[in-house]
Amino acid sequence: MSPKKNDPVAPPTIGEEWHVRYNTTDVVGGWNELENRVANNLRGAWETMRHRPGTASEESTSRHHPLRRQLATGARGGRVLPRWQIEVTGGDRVWYLLDVERRTVWVDYAGAHPKATE
């Protein structure tokens, strides 16, 4: 999704920070809905993705961890990447693909707890 008039300006990455980008345009609506309901929690999730997205085993917690089984990976640009989850609230999640090579987090789901993980 290309930025347009009145869209927020994303801060540039500096130092060891990671890029945080939408994987698809479908994710934008879910992200915006979470931003309207739970902005503080979503900001915390964004900070986690920006600074500690999951490259070290100690970054995995009960609220931030890699997904398993058929959800453990996803495709981006013809490559298979690991998929992580952040529990934004008890009922909301953000899933993202971890692209270590490009130091980029690709958000591929934002919204209510998906039934696929049950």
Cα gap 75→82, rounded to integer Å: 9
Give the distance between the most distant pair of CA atoms in the chain: 41
Percentage, residues of the chain above pLDDT 90: 76
pLDDT above 70: residue 1: no
Q: What pLDDT does residue 44 have?
A: 96
Distance of alpha carbon 102 from alpha carbon 49, whole angstroms: 14
Q: Distance between CA atoms of 69 and 17, rounded to whole angstroms?
A: 29
Residue ranges and CATH numbers for the domains of the chain are 19-54+64-117 (3.30.2310.20)
| Digit-coded pLDDT (tens) for 44-70 | 999 999 999 997 766 778 899 999 999
Indicate the average pLDDT of the chain. Answer: 90
